[in-house]
Amino acid sequence: MANHEPYSPGPANGAQIRKDGEKWTLVLVRELRHPPEKVWQALTAPEHLMEWAPFVADANLGTAGTKVNLTWVGAPTSHEITVVRADAPKLLEYQDTRWELEAQGGGTRLTLWHSIDRRFISMGAAGWHIAFDVLDRLLSGDPIGRIVGVDAMKFAGWQRLNAEYAQQFGIELPKWPSQNA
């Protein structure tokens, strides 16, 4: 059951972009109050992913070599990916995504490396920022419900984060077709 009290994300922070040739990578770091084993379950188990992640997985992502169909929210089709590395509860890598989990005290330093088209990098940072907030609340037993895809983009907190990350990264916000008319 989701907590319906108003949610407002904090300021844009913990994100960087890296460029290697034509490839852009968004790197997000978040300190979570939960042990790596608990975070690992949320990153790999389909029933947990559907509570916070911007995609649905048809199988567990926790074993290297596993083929999984990922369907990004709002996408018309799924994509088959192969889990490249799965070293529980430290490292998970598939498709254009890498998760690193580092135990810190009783919590976890979670780092996401996500290859993304440069035009959408601030949007991706805003979306993952909110997804991490939802994940943290879910793991704390105080779920607020998944906020992803078009629903996230309509959310005022996402719009603010998108603008803040664009400014931090020194990029222009994408212009939507209605803005060009």
pLDDT of residue 180: 43
pLDDT of residue 2: 55
Q: Domain residues of the chain, as ranges?
A: 15-171
pLDDT of residue 97: 96
pLDDT of residue 175: 63
Please name every residue paired with 60 in a beta bridge, in sequence order, or none if there are none.
none
pLDDT of residue 32: 96
3-class SS letters over the chain:
CCCCCCCCCCCCCCEEEEEECCEEEEEEEEEECCCHHHHHHHHHCHHHHHHHCCEEECCCCCCCCCEEEEEECCCCCCEEEEEEEEECCCEEEECCEEEEEEEECCEEEEEEEEECCHHHHHHHHHHHHHHHHHHHHHHCCCCCCCCCHHHHHHCHHHHHHHHHHHHHHCCCCCCCHHHHC
pLDDT of residue 3: 52
CATH number attached to the domain at 15-171 = 3.30.530.20
Q: What does pTM read for this prediction?
A: 0.90
Chain centroid, CA 167 distance in Å: 20
pLDDT of residue 68: 98
pLDDT of residue 178: 45
pLDDT of residue 174: 64
Instruction: Please list the pLDDT of the chain residue by residue as tens digits (181 residues).
Output: 455 457 899 999 999 999 887 889 999 999 999 999 999 999 999 999 999 999 999 999 999 999 999 999 988 999 999 999 999 999 999 999 999 999 999 999 999 999 998 889 999 999 999 999 999 999 999 999 999 998 899 888 999 999 999 999 998 876 654 444 4
Distance CA 46, CA 150 (A): 21
